[in-house]
Amino acid sequence: MVKTGPLRVLVVDDSAYNRRNIADILSGSDEVEVVGKAGDGEEALRLALSLKPDVITLDLEMPKMDGFTFLRILMVRQPTPVIVVSSYSQKENVFKALELGAVDFVAKPSQRLAPDASLRREILQKVLLVRYLRPLAAVSQRNSAIPPLPRSTATPPVLSTPQPEQPSARSVANIAARFIVGIGSSTGGPTALLEILSRVPEKFAGAILIAQHMPEKFTRTFAERLDRKSAIRVSEAVDGDIVTARRAFICPGKMCMEAVVSQGPSGMGWNEIRLRVGPPSQHDRYIPSADRLLRSLAPVGSRAYGVILTGMGDDGVAGARAIRAGGGTIIAESEETAVVYGMPRAAVKAGVVNEVMGLPQIVDWVAQLS
């Protein structure tokens, strides 16, 4: 949808200082009207149900009713786009909130919202993005349509936080990947990626490489969360990582990731694939760059699969074109399930897509690759 008229926003934060700053940031735009402020979860729920705002900015740590309880009740009684405004120290909580229905988040350096120009710009941009969201009721139906996959008893327990680099208890055989799946995503992507990774079977014969638009310091926590919920190993990519079967890698925030393919003898595929992780170049319009990742998979040929999920913009189009030219396959998420139908739409419009699928179909399709 594209909403016309000013977006009506409810600001929720237990800090009066933060409420005032966020309201001032949003009120500076003619496209936004701040219709209410709340200092705790109970007041926020009452105002949300009575004012029916177009979007809510939400701090998760609140008295009387925390942000998680607020989200659970809100998404049942009155689904509303929620942008979480949370500190870097609450990374795990951000992903829990996204799984409960929040559409995106803004990371602040500390509990107090400093008047930083880039942060102010990001808050306004994330709120204005709500104009392009599909109705949240449809998003909820998208997620509920995906049945859970029976979990292996070998799935490891939650990793201890002080040592995120320790491998999980899950055994990882050093088996060459038979194919590579590259995924590009932005707004709405974390939840979609969770659905995909949680359904990938333990004996998955390929590897999955992911470029999700996300700030630095959050991608490692995101990878750890996916790892706990997946039957294959998921980790934040490190420069030089070897790409093998039963592995998934998340590009670190503020960096770009490419697959470096060492070709084998003619007709014999590749000898080895390693990851190159480094800072963006002046040509990278999005960071992490789905274009750069997908383009690097072109040498894999017919065993390269590109998936373009929900998100604003056109990241992934150039990379998808390269995969198609190399004989690979491109799948785009459908408008019916994409939270923001920007990246998939651009790929479809460019004519670089083999097939368009809803998220439940993409989940099944990836899980059944062999």
State the Cα–Cα distance between residues 198 and 231, nearest whole angstrom.
7
Can the peptide bond before residue 288 be classed as cis, meaning omega within 30 degrees of 0? Answer: yes
Q: Is 227 a catalytic residue?
A: no
Strands (E) in 63-197, as ranges, are 82-87, 104-108, 180-185
Which letter, b or e, does each residue of 71-98 get, where b requires 16 or more Cβ atoms within 10 Å of its Cβ? beebbeeeebbbbbbbbeebbebbbbbb
State the Cα–Cα distance between residues 221 and 235, nearest whole angstrom.
9
Instruction: Measure CA 259 to chain center.
Output: 20
Burial (CB count <10 Å: 0-12, 13-18, 19+), residue 22: buried
Of the candidates 13, 289, 315, 334, the residue annotated as catalytic is: 315
Output DSSP code: residue 132: G
For the chain, percent helix, then strand, then coil, each to nearest 5? 35, 25, 40
State the Cα–Cα distance between residues 200 and 324, nearest whole angstrom.
24
For residue 354, give every residue at least 6 positions away whose Cβ sits within 8 Å of its Cβ, in sequence order, or none: 324, 329, 330, 331
CB 184 within 8 A of CB 342: no
For residue 235, give every residue at least 6 positions away whose Cβ sits within 8 Å of its Cβ, in sequence order, or none: 223, 227, 241, 247, 248, 249, 250
Of the candidates 87, 213, 227, 314, the residue annotated as catalytic is: 213
Q: Is 315 a catalytic residue?
A: yes
Q: Which of 301, 279, 276, 283 is nearest to 209 (CA)?
A: 276
Of the candidates 87, 168, 185, 186, the residue annotated as catalytic is: 186
Q: Is 213 a catalytic residue?
A: yes
Active-site residue numbers?
186, 213, 315
